[in-house]
């Protein structure tokens, strides 16, 4: 939601105009005033900030930067969680992002305000003003988790100096990569085995600790877990089994896009519990859908007698859309697991590709 606060009559009029335009685009907006005699929408500035900052809304102050800075100061924590904050003057001359320009989207918020009002966006983030790749914008636009915000800051600082960077993917999943859009001229994609030593690099990987911990890692949601289990399996036993096997391949839990199985397991407590604990979407497929998957899989006559298909965990991966298996079927006491990787689609747009 976009939350707007104004401090003058002219600011109130601009706030209403902006809200109407955003609502016409399908956005939800709220308009408030910090001036008591303006309307029934009066609110104290500190109360307005407290409510909207914690809600993660986009915040727009129509007034002086100083007012906004003092108001948000007690709530600022870190760039990975702070919301977008933009300040506009009441004459709509300038739109100034003052917090969370990249990850929170304040820079793009200011640019959109420019389109709607004619205001000049005042962008001050270093990668933007130097027409360079922005790693945090890139991560956000591609729904990737940044492994370490301090490393992200150091990465951007080095990129400003060196102007070149290698984007690495693990050798075993490099063929799952698909790039959409124009790659920034300062980037070069390569396998981790081709990394080199001195060049600045960032790795796009679902795996932990496979590279130097000093290298920034972006975690894509590209991993699918295919599972099966005996009816009534204890949820803790199932969870321990899955985590133990994933730990063997150093998988980052943030990379998991889905947990999949046969539809007979739709109400299985072990699967439902694991999904809830790690906020992982579930996917279920019929025996017919699983049987239709082409390929060579580890088969079991017993599983076929019970479910109607010779393999559940590996077939589930491809039924979901995995491109390859990175962990073949492993089993323990009535539980099975296989791990697959989907296409890793990385998108570059006008915000991550800068024209000089």
Residue 85: what pLDDT? 96
Query: What rounded mean pLDDT belongs to the chain?
Result: 91
Query: Are residues 336 and 261 both part of a single domain?
Result: yes
Domain that holds residue 190: 135-220
Domain membership flag for residue 349: no
Domain membership flag for residue 252: yes
Query: Are residues 31 and 114 both part of a single domain?
Result: yes
Mean pLDDT, rounded, for 33-39 = 73
Would you say residue 146 has pLDDT above 50? yes
Q: What is the pLDDT of residues 63-110, one digit of tens each?
A: 999 999 999 999 998 888 899 999 999 999 999 999 988 888 899 999
Q: CA–CA separation, 218 vs 205, rounded Å? A: 6
| CATH code, 326 | 3.30.420.180
Q: How many domains does the chain have?
A: 3
Would you say residue 301 has pLDDT above 90? no
Q: CA–CA separation, 176 vs 172, rounded Å? A: 9
Do residues 7 and 35 touch, judged by C-beta distance below 8 A? yes
Query: What are the residues whose beta carbons fall under 8 Å from the beta carbon of 25, sequence distance 6 or more?
Result: none
Domain membership flag for residue 323: yes
Q: CA–CA separation, 277 vs 269, rounded Å? A: 12
Q: Which residue has the tokens 């490393």?
A: 151
Domain membership flag for residue 22: yes
Domain membership flag for residue 42: yes
Domain end, chosen from 220, 249, 272, is at 220
Residue 159: what pLDDT? 93
Would you say residue 324 has pLDDT above 90? yes
Residue 39: what pLDDT? 60
Global pTM reads 0.81
| CATH code, 205 | 3.40.1390
Would you say residue 38 has pLDDT above 60? no
Residue 251: what pLDDT? 97
Do residues 27 and 1 touch, judged by C-beta distance below 8 A? yes
Query: Are residues 68 and 33 both part of a single domain?
Result: yes
Q: In this structure, what are the phi and psi dihedrals at residue 196, rounded to the nearest 5 degrees? A: 80, 180
Q: What is the pLDDT of residues 205-248, one digit of tens each?
A: 999 965 577 899 999 999 999 999 999 999 999 999 999 999 99
């Amino acid at each position: 939601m976009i939350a707007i606060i104004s401090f003058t009559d002219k600011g109130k009029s601009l706030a209403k105009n902006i809200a109407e335009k955003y609502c016409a685009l399908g956005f939800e907006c709220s308009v408030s005033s910090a001036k008591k005699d303006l309307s029934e929408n009066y609110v104290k500035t500190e109360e307005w900030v407290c409510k909207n900052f914690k809600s993660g809304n986009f915040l727009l102050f129509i007034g002086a930067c100083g007012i906004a800075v003092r108001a948000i100061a007690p709530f600022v924590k870190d760039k990975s969680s702070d919301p977008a904050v933009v300040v506009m003057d009441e004459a709509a001359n300038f739109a100034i992002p003052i917090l969370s320009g990249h990850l929170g989207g304040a820079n793009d918020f200011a640019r959109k305000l420019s389109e709607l009002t004619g205001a000049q966006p005042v962008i001050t983030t270093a990668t933007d003003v130097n027409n360079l790749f922005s790693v945090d914008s890139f991560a956000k636009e591609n729904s990737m988790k940044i492994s370490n915000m301090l490393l992200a800051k150091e990465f951007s600082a080095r990129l400003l100096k060196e102007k070149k960077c290698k984007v690495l993917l693990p050798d075993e999943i490099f063929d799952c990569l698909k790039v959409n859009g124009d790659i920034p001229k300062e980037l070069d994609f390569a396998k981790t085995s081709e990394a080199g030593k001195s060049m600045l690099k960032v790795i796009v990987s679902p795996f932990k600790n496979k590279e130097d911990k000093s290298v920034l890692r972006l975690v894509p949601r590209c991993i699918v877990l295919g599972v099966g289990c005996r009816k009534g399996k204890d949820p803790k036993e199932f969870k321990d089994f899955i985590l133990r096997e994933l730990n063997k391949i150093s998988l980052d839990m943030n990379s998991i896009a889905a947990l999949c199985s046969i539809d007979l397991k739709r109400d299985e407590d072990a699967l439902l519990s694991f999904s809830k604990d790690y906020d992982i979407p579930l996917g279920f497929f019929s025996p017919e859908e699983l049987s239709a998957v082409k390929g060579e899989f580890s088969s079991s006559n017993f599983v076929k007698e019970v479910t109607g298909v010779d393999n559940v965990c590996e077939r589930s991966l491809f039924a979901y859309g995995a491109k390859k298996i990175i962990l073949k079927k492993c089993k323990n006491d009535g539980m099975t697991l296989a791990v697959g990787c989907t296409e890793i689609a990385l998108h570059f747009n006008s915000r991550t590709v800068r024209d000089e």
